[in-house]
Each structure stands twice: as structure tokens, then as C-alpha cells.
Amino acid sequence: MRPIAHLNRRYHFSASHRLHVDAISPDRNREMFGKCNNPFGHGHNYVAQVTFSGPVDATTGMVTNLSDLDAFAQRELLDVFDHANLNTLECFRDVVPSTENLCVELWRIFEPYPHANLKRIRVEETGNNSFDYFGEGAPFSHEE
Amino acid sequence: MILLTRKADFSSAHFYWHDAWTEAENVRVFGKCANRQGHGHNYTLEVTVAGSVDPTSGFVVDLKQLKDILEREVVSVYDHRHLNYEVPEFATTIPTTENIAIAIWRRLEGKIPNAKLHRVRVYEMPDLFADYYGESA
């Protein structure tokens, strides 16, 4: 049996967003989201860390060819999210572009990648906060 | 049960090449990593061991001892070496980050007293790293 390894890759993108929910009052929005509710938005340098697992190919020594993964990430993630206003993206039309929701959206984006199994999405919004998502119903993992 | 992680660094050269393939095939699959002159990285190794805390010392393992094991088993063999030419496990196996993690696991397994090897993580660069949890994981 070929050994199973996990491959981790980090992608950087810069985007703006505003945390705001139309269905609740302006006061309640300000109270709930604080400075993240600034009407003009603000931005972050995000890091998306994706973890894929799979058997290590006996010939190439790879879980997946990084050039395939990078091309997928460029097309599906960076071309859409980098230097964008997250609130204007279709996926955030009805949900707040919080980093938690961004994790869930990135799972949806990377899950169909055909060459390895997605295990975790981590999004770092700043150097001091990050969020992990392991997929719907997946057991919580304490792994760093 | 505590997980304890120790880091170590090594700087090595490597390239990706499969002898049974033509040059064009190697370049198609491995891109610039197929340059046979080699290239190099500053690798960071993170070794995580699992064990219980000794009631007297308060240690899972003696960190100095773990550092010496990493130095002896890995760093002294890999650091400032060409992985393809000078490290025996890569004579016939391509030194990808995945394979380096597996090779380091095999070098360390069973050599750490009082603790169980839990994870080997190898960073080739800050934005690319591989994890290996052993054959049974």
C-alpha cells in the first residue's frame, strides 16, 4: 500500500469586505460588527491554507502535482478573490463575508479538485486570527 | 497525553527526475524542478511526538535528547547535501516534500525514547509543506 501524506499549500490574496446584514437595523449592525461595519468597507491580506491528502504516487513522489493545484487555485480562487470586494461576489450576495463564511466558500471551491482529497481549509484574516473548516459533518480535528 | 514539537532546519539541494521518462516528459511533469543541475531550499522540519508527562522531570521527552536525535538521524545527513546524490533513500526515490517527510519518519521511528512519533512535517518553503503520520494513519 502506498503511504498517505498530507500536502499543505498557502495562497495569498488581498480583498475588501464589510460585515453588514440588511435585515437588521443600522444600530444593531454597528453593535454586532463594530468597525467591520464601516460603510465603505476595509481590507485584509488573506492567507488561504489548503490541506489535501492522498497516496504518494510511486513514480512522482507526489500527493498531487503542485502545478495542477496552483493552476486550479489561480483559476478558481485567486482570479476571483484577489483584489476584489468580497461583498460584490455572487457567493456573498446573501451571506456575510466573515472569515468563517469564507472558509466554507473555499471548501466549496476546493472540494471538487480532482487529484487529492480536501481535508481542511484554514483562512488567516490577519496574522492574529485564523479559522479552520473540515467540511460539513467532519469530526473536529485538533491538528495544527 | 501531550504533543511535543521540536523544529530543526536543514539546507539541501535536489531535483526531480524519473529515469524511465524522456527529458520532455520530465519537464512536462516536474517543470523547473527537473533542472538536473539541481536547486535548493531552506527546509524546516517539525517533529511532533506524543507521550505522557514524567511525574518527576515534568517532561514528555528530554528536549536536548530529542534535538540530538534529530541532529544525528536527519540534520547531519541532509544538511548542506545534495539529496539525490548524497542521501541513500533518494538514490531511487524522488526527494519531493512528501517523500522527505516519509523518509524522515522512517529514520526517526522507534528511536525516540518514552514517546511515540506522531507527525513529521517538512516545510520546503513557508507556503508549501507536507505532513506524514506513519503507515497506519
Share of chain A above pLDDT 90, in %: 91
Residue tagged active-site, from B23, B80, B98, B109:
B80
**C-alpha cell recorded at residue A68:** 495542477
Nearest Cα of chain B lies from the Cα of A4 at a distance, in angstroms, of 7
A94-100: average pLDDT? 95
DSSP string, B37-74: T-EEEEEEEEEEEEEPPPTTT--SS-HHHHHHHHIIII
Report if residue B60 sits inside a domain: yes
Residues 6+ apart with CB under 8 A from B13: B38, B39, B40, B81, B82, B83, B84
pLDDT of residue B77: 98
Using alpha carbons only, give the angle A32, A37, A40 rounded to the nearest 5 degrees: 175
Comparing CB atoms, the residue among A6, A61, A143 nearest residue B93 is A61
Comparing CB atoms, the residue among A8, A12, A60 nearest residue B130 is A8
Angstrom distance (rounded) from CA A53 to CA A31: 41
**DSSP for residue B106:** H
Report if residue B87 sits inside a domain: yes
What is the pLDDT of chain A when averaged over all its residues? 94
B118 labelled catalytic: no
Place B136 in a pLDDT band, splitting at 50, 70 and 90: confident
What is the pLDDT of chain B when averaged over all its residues? 96
* CATH number for position B109: 3.30.479.10
Report if residue B22 sits inside a domain: no
> Mind listing the pLDDT tens digit for each residue in A40-65?
999 999 999 999 999 999 999 999 99
pLDDT of residue A138: 77
Interchain CB distance below 8 Å, B29 and A60: yes
Which residues in chain B have Cβ-Cβ distances shorter than 8 Å to A66?
128
pLDDT above 60: residue A75: yes
Place A137 in a pLDDT band, splitting at 50, 70 and 90: confident
Angstrom distance (rounded) from CA A57 to CA A64: 8
pLDDT above 80: residue A129: yes
Place A108 in a pLDDT band, splitting at 50, 70 and 90: very high
Report if residue B107 sits inside a domain: yes
**C-alpha cell recorded at residue A133:** 473548516
- Give this prediction's pTM: 0.89
pLDDT above 60: residue A142: no
Interchain CB distance below 8 Å, B126 and A9: no
Task: Give the residue on B whose Cα is nearest the Cα of A58.
Answer: B93
Interchain CB distance below 8 Å, A10 and B126: yes
pLDDT above 80: residue B7: yes
B47-62: average pLDDT? 93
pLDDT of residue A144: 58
Report if residue B25 sits inside a domain: no
Provide the domain count of chain B. Answer: 1
Find the domain containing B89 and state its range. Answer: 2-12+40-132
pLDDT above 90: residue A103: yes
Start-to-end Cα distance in chain B: 18
Report if residue B68 sits inside a domain: yes
> Mind listing the pLDDT tens digit for each residue in B72-108?
999 999 999 999 999 999 999 999 999 999 999 999 9
Interchain CB distance below 8 Å, B29 and A10: no
pLDDT of residue B85: 96
Domains in chain A with CATH codes: 4-133 (3.30.479.10)
B23 labelled catalytic: no
Contact residues, chain A to chain B, C-beta under 8 Å:
1, 3-12, 51, 56, 59-63, 65-67, 143
Residues 6+ apart with CB under 8 A from A108: A91
Report if residue B121 sits inside a domain: yes
Sign of CA dihedral B63, B65, B70, B71: positive
Comparing CB atoms, the residue among A1, A12, A61 nearest residue B99 is A61
Interchain CB distance below 8 Å, B131 and A6: yes
Report if residue B35 sits inside a domain: no
Give this complex's ipTM: 0.84
Place B57 in a pLDDT band, splitting at 50, 70 and 90: confident
Residue tagged active-site, from A6, A36, A91, A115:
A36
B39 labelled catalytic: no
pLDDT of residue A139: 73
Which of B96, B117, B119, B125 should one mutate to test binding to chain A, selecting the residue with the greatest count of A CBs within 10 A? B96
